[in-house]
Amino acid sequence: MIGFIIRRVLAMIPVLFLVALITFFLMKQAKGGPFDQEKEVAPSTIALLNRKFGLDKPAWLNTAEFNNRMSSDGPLAAVRGLFDSQFGNYMLNAVQGDLGPTYASKGTETVQDKIKQTFPISLRLGLISLTFALVVGFPLGILGALRQNTIFDYFSLIISTIGFSVPTFVTGLVLLLVMSKVFGVAPIKDPSVWEGFSMSYFPPAIILGLGTMAYITRLTRSSVLEVKRQDYIRTAKAKGLGDRVVIMRHILRNSLIPVITILGPAVAGLVTGSFIIESVFRVPGIGSEFIGAIGSRDYSMIMGSTLFFSLLVALGNIMVDLSYGLIDPRIRNS
Amino acid sequence: MATASNVAGTNPAQAQEFTRPVRSLWSDAWLRLRRNRLAMASIVYLFLLALVAIFAPVIAPHSPGRPTTTELRERGVYRQAAWVVDEKTPKRSGIWKFPLGTDSAGGDVLSRLIYGTRVSMVVGFIPMIFTLTIGITIGLISGFAGGKLDSLLMRFTDIIFSLPDILFFIIVQTAFSQTAFGKTFNGLLLIFLSFSAVNWASVARLVRGQVLSLKEKEFVEAAEAVGVRRGSILFRHILPNTLAPIIVAGAFIVPSAIVTEATLSFLGIGIQPDTNPNNPFPTSWGQMILEGKSAIDSQPWILIASAIAIASITIAFVALGDGLRDALDPRQ
């Protein structure tokens, strides 16, 4: 088990490195630096800012510094000099948990501070919507499958097809429209409501969880239908077990496994889906922050939050892989 | 059996039934699909949408571009949908000349909606073809070649698979949207490429799995035994047998590409709006939703109309995908 965890954590490293590499490469392609969008700034100021953030260094490899140190300090220092570049320094700081200053704040605030401020809000949102997706999706799927081709089944099919196909920003905006036009609820302006758990989290959380809920419903339904037809269910019924025992002990437990397998992608979907929902409902979470950073071309914030999101997704996948073993002894022993 | 042939001998109608033509997997699947009413309704709806997309200039009552000054006077800005009466500002009350009203620049909402069909159709199908081509190629090579090449390709696939895709799209859009390449076809080309660059991974996994299991089948062994070349085995024996799951996967790629474009356009970094009336792709539904969001109080029908359009097209494609899966996979 420990070996498995270590292997999986190590496998995360190349993925995260590739994400950083791709993001950094793409950010370099974008036109316009972070400091030249506002009103005219003196070239000397820009040079100073670039120097302050290390943007005057080469992007990838600092060959000049390599040659320089090779002749004076020897090969080891030269290699260190080679990586004295924007990317090299960024990665070196990132593994120590320092994601650098945000450009928007001109260096007074770091990216990790911003993440620390805004992530709890997104986490609350994500937890509520995951709970919603599980608590509603699972029973809805079971009900649909056990009462196949009845009104319950059709209801669960309709709900899950809508939730599965319609993008969240569409359902979210429709909900906002209904809330304001039909119920006269004004959109939330006061940011302090997001500081603890509050009722305001429910509309965005339910919309965010809708897709996951629908996916869980669909999967549970087909999984229960599959298990229902197995020989061991017939055996269980033949030996006279009551419906309740057959359903609870034989059908549900066995149909749970395929559902767990999608929880990894589901958590990823909740994490990356959050920034669309947050911008629809104006939730000041990390997703809104990311969208804001895109708008203002705050590259360090974009890099930092992308790495953070990728880390969350990777960790989510590991947790789910671990949970297979807890549920299914066959996987644990293989 | 004996009684069956006796009955068949005496009853010509039943005799015919016993000698009905052989049905292939595909005609069987087609019969099953035809029985699925939801899937058939979706096909009809999508066919109609395809017609709307192709004949948009004929169907649309007005030009989707920016109106001239004299037109603007008649159209008004944020004119309500035809059946809505605005008591406070009577000149914004709806008239049937502009059934769904007008937007902030005086554009006719219905005409824009009709032209928006084009983007959704194109953005659904072209990336699907790209994605399937890349995925099938890598999956076939990986599954058929095996060994080191296989593990190398699969490691690469795993990495691509674990990229958070919407994040990747957003970053690609930010990076290239201002370059000449990013502006080709209003930015549609960039969306096609970035979508396919990530989504092939699941197709490759699927195809590889299929190839691995088909490789062990008797008919492949038989083909090898009679001396069929490897290339022919791959393309004439293995590939056709992987088609059913590929078609199902392809059917689900279409709505996911449509949602991706709509999401990016909603975030303001998707396709770029164009007021040139000769542009075949002047607007997209995602963009209209973004505009509808800011006009949610003044002209809610921009939002409602484009929300219904996106919701119905994605539901139709998913229902069709479900129908295809049920029809092509007899185990279900």
Least confident of A41-50, A153-162, B108-117: A41-50
pLDDT at B5: 45
CB atoms A167 and B293 under 8 Å: no
- B217 phi-psi bin (left φ>0, alpha ψ -120 to 50, beta other): beta
Mean pLDDT of B136-165: 86
**Among candidates B166, B171, B303 on the partner chain, residue whose Cβ is nearest the Cβ of A302:** B171
Environment class of residue A3 by beta-carbon count within 10 Å: exposed (0-12), middle (13-18) or buried (19+)? exposed
Whether the per-residue pLDDT at B1 is higher than 50: the answer is no
Nearest CA to A218 among A153, A294, A129, A166?
Answer: A153
Shortest distance between the Cα of B121 and any Cα of chain A, in A, equals 16
pLDDT at A107: 65
Whether the per-residue pLDDT at A328 is higher than 70: the answer is no
When pLDDT is cut at 50, 70 and 90, the band that residue B127 belongs to is very high
Range among A126-135, B43-52, B287-296 rated most confident: B43-52
Is residue B212 within 8 A of residue B147, CB to CB? The reply is no
pLDDT at A35: 62
For B292, the closest chain A residue by CA position comes to: A173
pLDDT at B12: 57
pLDDT in tens, A246-284: 888 888 888 887 777 777 777 777 877 787 888 888 888
Q: Which alpha helices (DSSP H) does B55-108 contain, by range?
A: 56-59, 69-75
Q: Which two tokens stand for residue A196?
A: 């603890």
Residues of A in contact with B296 (CB under 8 A): 173, 176-177, 180
All residues at 6 or more sequence positions from A300 whose CB lies less than 8 Å from its CB, including other chains: A53, A99, A100, A101, A102, A103, A111
What residues does each domain of chain B span?
Answer: 35-328
Between CA B175 and CA A31 the distance in angstroms is 7
Between CA B82 and CA B75 the distance in angstroms is 12
Q: Which amino acid is at A41?
A: V
Buried b (16+ CB within 10 A) or exposed e, A266-284: bbbbbbbbbbbbbbbbebb
Q: How far is CA B153 from the centre of its chain?
A: 27
When pLDDT is cut at 50, 70 and 90, the band that residue A120 belongs to is confident
Between CA B259 and CA B41 the distance in angstroms is 21
When pLDDT is cut at 50, 70 and 90, the band that residue B315 belongs to is very high
Complete domains list, chain A, with CATH: 111-333 (1.10.3720.10)
CA neighbours within 13 Å on the CB side: how many for A126?
A: 25
Residues of B in contact with A22 (CB under 8 A): 163, 168, 171
Place of tokens 């644990």: A332
Between CA B86 and CA B294 the distance in angstroms is 19
Helix (H, G, I), strand (E, B) or coil at B102: strand
Average pLDDT across chain B, whole number = 83
When pLDDT is cut at 50, 70 and 90, the band that residue A119 belongs to is confident
Per the model's pLDDT, the better-predicted residue between A304 and A272 turns out to be A304
pLDDT in tens, B182-194: 777 778 888 999 9
CA neighbours within 13 Å on the CB side: how many for B246?
A: 24
CATH match of B35-328 with 1.20.1050.10: no
When pLDDT is cut at 50, 70 and 90, the band that residue B309 belongs to is very high
Neighbours of A135 (CB within 10 A): 13
Is residue A301 within 8 A of residue B152, CB to CB? The reply is no
Angle at B219 between CA B217 and CA B222, to 5 degrees: 115
CB atoms B315 and A161 under 8 Å: yes
Angle at A167 between CA A166 and CA A168, to 5 degrees: 115
When pLDDT is cut at 50, 70 and 90, the band that residue A329 belongs to is low
- A106 phi-psi bin (left φ>0, alpha ψ -120 to 50, beta other): left
Place of tokens 């022993």: A333
Nearest CA to B302 among B272, B254, B266?
Answer: B266
Percent of chain A scored above 70 by pLDDT? Answer: 90
Residues of A in contact with B300 (CB under 8 A): 177, 181
Whether the per-residue pLDDT at B111 is higher than 90: the answer is no
Between CA B48 and CA A97 the distance in angstroms is 54
Whether the per-residue pLDDT at A111 is higher than 80: the answer is yes
Q: Which two tokens stand for residue B6?
A: 């006796």
Question: Looking at the predicted complex, does its ipTM rise above 0.85?
Answer: no
Is residue A284 within 8 A of residue A235, CB to CB? The reply is no
Nearest CA to B290 among B311, B264, B317, B321?
Answer: B264
Is residue A106 within 8 A of residue A258, CB to CB? The reply is no
When pLDDT is cut at 50, 70 and 90, the band that residue B4 belongs to is very low
Chain B residues within 8 A (CB-CB) of chain A? 159, 162-168, 170-172, 174-176, 178-179, 255, 259, 262-263, 266-269, 289, 292-293, 296-297, 300, 303-304, 307, 310-311, 314-315, 317-319, 322, 332
Neighbours of A305 (CB within 10 A): 27
Per the model's pLDDT, the better-predicted residue between B159 and B148 turns out to be B148
Shortest distance between the Cα of A15 and any Cα of chain B, in A, equals 6
Range among A102-116, B8-22, B31-45, B56-70 rated most confident: B31-45
- B114 phi-psi bin (left φ>0, alpha ψ -120 to 50, beta other): alpha
Chain A residues within 8 A (CB-CB) of chain B? 14-15, 18-19, 22-23, 26-27, 29-32, 161-162, 164-167, 169-170, 173-174, 176-177, 180-181, 222, 268, 271-273, 276, 279-280, 291, 294-295, 297, 302, 306, 309-310, 313-314, 317
pLDDT in tens, B59-101: 888 877 777 777 777 777 777 777 777 777 777 777 777 778 7
CB atoms A222 and B178 under 8 Å: no
pLDDT at B3: 45
Per the model's pLDDT, the better-predicted residue between A121 and A82 turns out to be A121
Write down how long chain B is.
332
Whether the per-residue pLDDT at B112 is higher than 70: the answer is yes
Residues of A in contact with B315 (CB under 8 A): 161-162, 165-166
Between CA B321 and CA B221 the distance in angstroms is 33
Whether the per-residue pLDDT at A36 is higher than 60: the answer is no
All residues at 6 or more sequence positions from A180 whose CB lies less than 8 Å from its CB, including other chains: A186, A187, B296, B297
First vs last C-alpha separation in chain A: 11
What phi, psi does B102 have (nearest 5°)?
-125, 165
CB atoms B255 and A165 under 8 Å: yes
Mean pLDDT of B127-151: 91
Per-residue CA distances from A260 to A3, A272, A295, B191 (Å): 22, 19, 37, 32
Environment class of residue B261 by beta-carbon count within 10 Å: exposed (0-12), middle (13-18) or buried (19+)? buried
pLDDT at B16: 55
Shortest distance between the Cα of A185 and any Cα of chain B, in A, equals 13
When pLDDT is cut at 50, 70 and 90, the band that residue B129 belongs to is very high
Per the model's pLDDT, the better-predicted residue between A214 and A23 turns out to be A214
Helix (H, G, I), strand (E, B) or coil at B108: strand
pLDDT in tens, B166-219: 888 888 888 887 777 777 777 888 899 999 998 999 999 999 988 888 888 888
CB atoms A294 and B297 under 8 Å: no
Per the model's pLDDT, the better-predicted residue between B95 and B322 turns out to be B322
Q: Which amino acid is at B227?
A: G
Between CA B80 and CA A320 the distance in angstroms is 50
Whether the per-residue pLDDT at B282 is higher than 50: the answer is yes
Average pLDDT across chain A, whole number = 80
pLDDT at B63: 78
Angle at A14 between CA A11 and CA A17, to 5 degrees: 140
Q: Which alpha helices (DSSP H) does chain A contain, by range?
A: 2-29, 43-52, 63-72, 75-82, 86-95, 111-146, 151-165, 168-181, 202-228, 231-238, 243-245, 253-261, 263-281, 286-296, 299-327, 329-333
CB atoms B162 and A306 under 8 Å: no
Q: What is the DSSP-derived secondary structure letter of residue A197?
A: S
Per the model's pLDDT, the better-predicted residue between B23 and B327 turns out to be B327
Is residue B292 within 8 A of residue B104, CB to CB? The reply is no
Q: Which amino acid is at A131?
A: T
CB atoms A222 and B332 under 8 Å: yes
Whether the per-residue pLDDT at A106 is higher than 90: the answer is no
